[in-house]
Structure formats: C-alpha cells, structure tokens
Amino acid sequence: MSRGTRTVAAFLAAGLVAAWWLTEPRPLAESDLPDHSPVAEAGERIFWAGGCASCHASPVDGKRARKEKKLLLGGGLELETPYGVFRVPNISSHRQDGIGGWSMIQFVNAMQRGISPGGRHYYPSFPYTSYAKMAVTDVMDLKAYLDTLPSVSGRIAEHTLAFPWNLRRGIGAWKWRYLGAGPVIEFESADEALQRGRELVEGAGHCGECHTGRDRFGGMIASRWLGGAPNPEGKGRIPNITPAGKNTAEWSTGDIAYYLESGFTPEYDTVGGSMVAVQENMAMLTPEDRKAVAAYLKAIPAIADEARR
C-alpha cells in the first residue's frame, strides 16, 4: 500500500469514527432526573395537552379512536408520509407490549432525547423535539398518569421505510441540528400566562409539529414558527396561527380560548378536520390553560401567510 493510499485510508477511518461519534445516542443519566415525586393527577393535564390519545389510542376500523376508547393506548395508527409508513406504538401500561415496564429514566429519554430503552434513535415522527422543551417534572408526572391507564396487549409492527430513511443511526446527526430544550420564542415579559402558554404550545401541545413549515431535512423552520404548513395527512394546508393568520388576526384572546373550549368560532362555524381531536383535548384543560395558550398565540411574531404572497 502506497503512502498516499494509507493517508486516504486514515482520513476515511477518522471520518467514520467521527460520524459514529456524532450520531451516537446521548441519553440522560438517572442522576440527571430532578428530585420529584410524580403526581398522576398532574400528569393527566399533560396527557390531554399533549393529545396522546389522538395518535396512540387503538384505531377502530382503521379510523381514529372514538371518545370512549381514548384511554386504550394500544397504538396501531398508520401515518403515510413521503418517507414511508410510520406505525404508532403501544404506550399502554402493558409491561411487555406497552411501556408499563419502562423505568422513569427510560421514559424521560424517550420523550426528551428520542431514545428507546434499547438505545436506538426514535424517528422524529414522534415529536420529541417539542417534548424536549417540557419541564422534566411534567414528563415524570405524565408517566405516573399513563401507568394508571388500562393495559392493552398487542405489539405494533415496525415502520416501513425506504433506504436511506430506514437507517436510524443518521438521526443522531439530525438531532444535533434540531433537538434542543431552549424556547422557540423568547419573551421579555415575565407574564405568567405567557410563560404557561409557551410551555403548553411549544412543549406538550407540540403545535409547531403541524403548524410550522419544514426544511428539506424535515426540521421545523424556526423563522416560520406557527406560520402554516402543508397538511402532513394529505391535501391542503394547516393554517397560520400567528397574529397574522387568517383567523387569529381577527380573533381576540377570549375568542381563541372559547374556540379551544367549545369548538365554535366567533363566526359560529365549528372546528373541523384533524383539529377536532386537538380541540377535544384542549377542552379537558383548565380555563387558565386555554387562556394562556391564547395569550401566547396573540403575543408571538406575526408571520405573513404564504398563500398571500
């Protein structure tokens, strides 16, 4: 082997080592958890704010679960995307098929680091980039609540993804760019409602996952935060919900809060599409929470609607 060949081989080896290091899962340690005794009742609030049942409740006849089945979190919903088919897992309290056997640190790592108990990266179809912005204590409370829900048997099949999307290791590099615990919007005001609204919208509520456009790598475009995006479930667009949005521009804070509670707009129209499930979940929150969400949406930067350009 010539000297030049050896040099090239050394560079390639170093590059492979660097790539392996960059893409390695980086979980939290047990010692990173705060000293907190989880409260299931508090976790129920996070459950509804996060809309966990909207995806994880076992579908009936291929459709999303009805109200009476929302606490049976056996998974199975299939999400068709340009990358392939993602299948929503069982997160019931079943100790083998669900997450009932997970430790608290395993649950926190899944929610906030996108790492499975087996040490693999989760695909960001699971919105951990939003959940990373939640308070760890809220995540711990959520686990306590999930453990009180019915056990549902049945393990869900793996995702069906084409190459190279079926290579999970590369998600580690993606996380360097898109996964962070810092807030999307910084407020100078210390107003409690704004802070609470930010926690709900940016974190547990993961509103940006649908309402924010994405770049070519599938990451949310921060400069277009909540400015509307193509519908991930099919035709049409998810609306702009910044103060410049078609509806939110004219709605007051009270209008938005009432819409989240009742499903009725100020024009006496009713919520439709995938927003129906979101509204039903938001109706389970306290009036203070819904007002906080509304206050946040009215306070964030206005983003011009792309359809009007």
Cis check for the bond before 164: say yes or no (omega within 30 of 0). Answer: yes
Q: What is the CA radius of gyration of the chain?
A: 21
Residues 154-192 as b or e (16 or more Cβ within 10 Å = b): eebeebebeeebeebeebbebbeebbeeeebbeeeeeee
Cα–Cα distance list, 142 to 127, 197, 200, 209 (Å): 15, 18, 14, 20
Are 139 and 128 spatial neighbours (Cβ–Cβ below 8 Å)? no
pTM of the model: 0.89
- What's the CA gap between 130 and 78, in Å, rounded? 21
Which amino acid is it at 128? Y
- From first to last of its 309 residues, the chain has per-residue pLDDT tens of 665 565 555 555 554 455 545 678 899 999 999 999 999 999 999 999 999 999 999 876 545 555 557 899 999 998 888 888 999 999 999 999 999 999 999 999 999 999 999 999 999 999 999 999 999 999 999 999 999 999 999 999 999 998 888 888 889 999 999 999 999 999 888 889 999 999 999 999 999 999 999 998 889 999 999 999 988 766 778 899 999 998 888 999 999 999 999 999 988 888 888 889 999 999 999 999 999 999 999 999 999 987 544
Place of tokens 């103060």: 243
